[in-house]
Chains A and B, each alone.
Chain A
């Protein structure tokens, strides 16, 4: 086959076939269109950033967050967003997995010149994922990890004095979430999971600048730019987790977007309060993390459950607890719950 010329500059050789359009582009034009599309996602509408905003990039060391850190650093300079960027990593305490990827994040810190904060499950909850899996087995460990990571990110952001977290969720991830919410009939979360930015007054703002970026292009970008990332499956993820590979990813996202959250649905949702034990935003007396932690601790010390009927504000004697959540700006307005209620309700701790 003769080399195909780039369909944009018509001079260089095309090296990438774009999944969205089938367009065949050369390396430089690929960088250009990829970065510009992310910029467009960022500035669309009111835009997801405010000038001078402090923003933490949730950095796992994986491809998505590494490319995000790179592209945001580039766009911040090119378009003068004026952002104060940080890398925020969570150390779940998974031997042989997280320690390698944290090395990668430390490398990114040097490459991008961004300050890095690492917060560990161990320092926050007194438990590593290794110990949690030892106790609860492999069945529900992803739920623990999801609840703990979300809160850890918020706490890490608060410690950095940051009010906005960006994550590397890409179009393929979001399409998968849309499909999952459709299958679960979870209409309330459908619109929400497709939003570029989610925020309510008392939670830390979260955005997904890669909402329209395809996984294939993210991987291509990392490869052509020779970015440092780490790629291995989490050793605790279920073996049979087969990714849904829809071809019409953007169509799926748009169908999710069209499910606007009706006021009536919102009213039916629980108002938010703060966790009586740790001060984190919660729709119940105890936040998910405190509830899970109490289960873990009780599993260690069954007698504790028998002797003291724990009340919400005080953990049973001898149990480890989560430090009080403090945000420098504090608002107590009632907001619709988001959250992971269903997943948590489905857990039973043996």
Chain B
């Protein structure tokens, strides 16, 4: 057991951060959002640097998980989790990128689908990889932080994985969500903390009011919990219970952090001038995927206590 990064992990993390510093960040996200764009150059840069292969080549799923968390913290507009963590989890390493993740039981728009070349579809207990051509998934307008597309209506060529692969996809997707939520919450929290230190009302920094401090402290505590649960789950290869636990806690915390960071940021927090929305609106997308907090919690109960029939 060692919560501190070793020398190699520190080196990987620094290299990831340096790349994201150059290619990503809220300003870039806002610029892309103006035309629902996708950051192909960022994805290509991550690929060329070898980061999308961290899970399989040399490092492991924990290091891939650190990449997912970092990319989310930088507001990256690229489908990093699917390529770096979820597809390798299915031992499906060389799918055409970008990869979008979809659940056949969900009717809503799908993150990154409009730009994806592969749709990794969970259909009950089976996972399918489907080729997408340009125009297959029509763009859907959405304010929830990501470029979105509609699931194609025409039948697609798909490569099914064995029965049971749906559960594997689900486990890794849950861990990926938790890592994305941890990183995205970090982004929202950092912006809000800076605002509370700078913004003065009633002759003092509003961050000095105890009522405000406690709310932000609760967010920080909750985010730390999600981060370490998700990293631990990634390290262990996304076991059923740990994956569901991290997703359940993450989905809860996503809503807490959304609500508190907006409330504490006042009116400026709702505007496109202020970076908060880059992170906060994404939290809603992330917390709803895979049936949301209720489904994750039922999955925890099922794997921990063998409760009833699995739902969702």
A binds B: no
**Chain B interface (Cβ within 8 Å of chain A)?**
none
